[in-house]
Amino acid sequence: MSSYTLWIERCRLAGMLLGCVSYGIYFFLTVQACIALMQRPRYGGAIAYHRRALLFYIFITFALGTISFAANAKYTEMIWIDLRDTPGGPLTLIENETDYSINVLALSTGHIQEWFMQALLLHRCFVIWNWARSVMIPMITLYMAMIAMSILVQIQASTGAEWYNINIELAYLCIEVGLTVIYTILVAYRLLAMRSKMKQAMAQYDSSSYDVVIRMVIESAVLYSIFAVIFIVAFALHSEGVSTLCFLSIGQVQGIAQLFIIIRVARGRAVTREWSTRVAAPPTTLVFSGTVWNATDETDDERIHRPQQDVQMYSTSTGGVEARIT
């Protein structure tokens, strides 16, 4: 048995073990996110808006991810148990995995899961940019192109094409990662611009709330982007071992990244404990997905019993930001 054969088989098994770990983390964070969305957050904040939509998103993406993970786990079992007498052994089964419908199921459910995840990113981006057409049109175009590529990949995979001969898969992966990177840049730029305008309007404005949100968005994007770039490079170079390691976990990694944001926002942790207890800062507002709350030098008890105000941010025709309190 050649060293290459052993390397590929070990990578498949290690990739499945890595997938088990990432799925366990994904499951744990899914439960946490559901609990956070159904409970009142800390620091007297309001329960997250669009709670039902977020709960549906969490349920559907977790269900799709679970089906994909279960199908990959079953085929890994088939490689060394059910089909171990196949001519060519496990290596042939790994290289020709699209010949088996269970792998097409895993691929299809994984791709559809990605559609929902990218749709959530687009919604966040559009809200931050106040549904500006200059942002919506190119982002929706890229999103539709990603779905079209995904469908073509699934069609080719269902015909039994060899995995590394599906060149459209590389284009699909590049568009998908590109959407995540562009989303991160657009959101970070918009929040930085709003922070700058608020500083100009109030000399003593405390911008730490914006810094926390920007850092949260970037951190969640970096987690998935680095993992996905490694997978893209390995796929382009036909490095079956490395690409197998990444492929069996990439869906869970993206799900984990997005659940981090959902949990922190649902719990009201977009404002840090240090910021919420600061006594010297003037009144400030935090903006995220159209929801803001006031932070003053009041005590925790006073803040909890004080009626909340809804503050909505609007972009003016001159590029400024207007706040309306209701």
Residues with Cβ within 8 Å of 79's Cβ and at least 6 positions away in sequence, in order, are: 12, 90, 93, 94
Q: What is the pLDDT of residue 194?
A: 84
Q: What is the pLDDT of residue 155?
A: 92
For residue 18, give the amino acid letter: L
Would the pLDDT of 281 be above 50?
Answer: no
Q: What is the pLDDT of residue 105?
A: 94
Give CA–CA dist 99/161, Å, rounded: 8
Least confident among 53-67, 197-211, 239-253, 275-289: 275-289
Mean pLDDT, rounded, for 240-253 = 89
Mean pLDDT, rounded, for 144-159 = 92
| Better pLDDT: 273 or 154 | 154
- CA 138 → CA 111, 135, 143, 276, distances in Å? 21, 6, 9, 38
Mean pLDDT, rounded, for 187-199 = 85
Would the pLDDT of 311 be above 60?
Answer: no
Q: What is the pLDDT of residue 166?
A: 84
What does the pLDDT look like over 34-47, one tens digit per residue?
998 887 655 555 55
Least confident among 97-101, 163-167, 247-251: 163-167
| Better pLDDT: 239 or 110 | 110
Mean pLDDT, rounded, for 108-117 = 94
Would the pLDDT of 325 be above 60?
Answer: no
Give CA–CA dist 314/323, Å, rounded: 6
What percentage of residues in the chain have a pLDDT greater than 70? Answer: 77
SS (H, E, C) the chain: CCHHHHHHHHHHHHHHHHHHHHHHHHHHHHHHHHHHHHCCCHHHCCCCCCHHHHHHHHHHHHHHHHHHHHHHHHHHHHHHHHCCCCCCHHHHHHHCHHHCHHHHHHHHHHHHHHHHHHHHHHHHHHHHCCCCHHHHHHHHHHHHHHHHHHHHHHHHHHCCCCHHHCCHHHHHHHHHHHHHHHHHHHHHHHHHHHHHHHHHHCCCCCCHHHHHHHHHHHHHHHHHHHHHHHHHHHHHCCCHHHHHHHHCCHHHHHHHHHHHHHHHHHCCCCCCHHHHCCCCCCCEECCECCECCEECCCCHHHHHHCCCCCEEEEECCCCCEEEEEC
Q: Band of the pLDDT at 24, cuts 50, 70, 90?
A: very high
Would the pLDDT of 244 be above 60?
Answer: yes
Q: What is the average pLDDT value for the chain, to the nearest integer?
A: 80
Q: Band of the pLDDT at 291, cuts 50, 70, 90?
A: very low
- Model confidence pTM above 0.85: no
Q: Please name each of the domains of the chain with its CATH number.
A: 3-274 (1.20.1070), 276-325 (no CATH)
Would the pLDDT of 278 be above 50?
Answer: no
Q: Band of the pLDDT at 117, cuts 50, 70, 90?
A: very high
Q: What is the pLDDT of residue 270?
A: 42
Q: What is the pLDDT of residue 48?
A: 56
Q: Band of the pLDDT at 95, cuts 50, 70, 90?
A: confident
Q: What is the pLDDT of residue 98?
A: 86
Q: What is the pLDDT of residue 5?
A: 87
The dihedral formed by the CA atoms of 56, 61, 62 and 63, expressed in degrees to the nearest 10: 90
Extract the tokens encoding 84: 């171990």
Would the pLDDT of 10 be above 70?
Answer: yes
Least confident among 65-69, 279-283, 322-326: 279-283
